Amino acid sequence: MSIGTDVALAPGQTVPNPQTFGAATTGKVGMWIFLVTDAMTFGGLLLAYGILRIGNPHWPAPTSVLGIPFTAVMTFVLIVSSLTMVLALDAARHGNRLGAVKWLLLTAGGGIFFLCGQAYEYTHLIRHGFTLPSGNFPATFYVITSFHGGHVFTGVCYLLITAAGVFRGKHLENGANFVEITGLFWHFVDLVWILVFTLVYLIP
């Protein structure tokens, strides 16, 4: 439990707590600091992509190589999984343990669907000669999307661990702070995909 949250409070009561950052728990601030640094890593990769692309007048149009409708469906699933994640938090905050588990598992299911879609996409692209060493576009494409895919995989594991904890009656205290922190990571994965989808797949 984070510092300063071990004080028994009446429902709705607030106390000044100089040991936490604003109104957030230390766990939440920790996750935010991690996400900011992680965003910088993604920023670096996207920037490398941007520089290589702007420096090459013969860069192929992504839409001529990548399947936009298929990826749009993957994007849709990730957006739906963000909705199910906030519904999980909402259920947890209202003390609805099984509801929270249901929404968390659906969120993880969205992540698993996304990973399967990515595996299918990679297989299809590699069979058509779009391999990692075949140029700067495939190289940057695979590095960025697989780094994001690694985050999705981590997020799915994180969601399943959180769901197992909630099922056993944990993580519902303190405004379901643990579930909220899990959600922060998952929404970040969605947020990054929004940018990757636009910058790598859609920009002509």
Partner 1 sequence: MTEHASHESHDTPGTAAAPADHRRDYFRIFWVLLVLTIVEVAVSYLKIDKRLMSVTMIALALTKAAFVGLYYMHLKYEKRSLLWLAALPLPLAGFYAVFLMLDGANLLRATTLPWIHH
Binding residues (CB under 8 A) for partner 1: these are: 5, 9, 11-15, 17, 20-25, 28-29, 32-33, 35-36, 39-40, 43, 46-47, 50-52, 54-57, 63, 68-69, 72, 75-76, 79-80, 82-83, 85-87, 90, 93-94, 174-175, 177, 180, 183-184, 187-188, 190-191, 194-195, 197-199, 202-204
Nearer to partner 1, 141 or 188 (CB): 188
Using CA atoms, how far apart are residues 193 and 75, in angstroms rounded to an integer? Answer: 7
Neighbours of 190 (CB within 10 A): 21
- The string over 59-92, giving b where at least 16 C-beta atoms fall within 10 Å of a residue's C-beta and e elsewhere, is eeebeeebeeeebeebbebbebbbebbebbbebb
Least CB distance to partner 1 at residue 104 (A): 15
Nearer to partner 1, 58 or 127 (CB): 58
Least CB distance to partner 1 at residue 101 (A): 18
Angle, helix 97-127 to helix 173-196, in steps of 10 degrees: 20
89, 180 contact by CB (below 8 A): yes
49, 140 contact by CB (below 8 A): yes
Least CB distance to partner 1 at residue 9 (A): 5
Nearer to partner 1, 32 or 131 (CB): 32
Least CB distance to partner 1 at residue 127 (A): 24
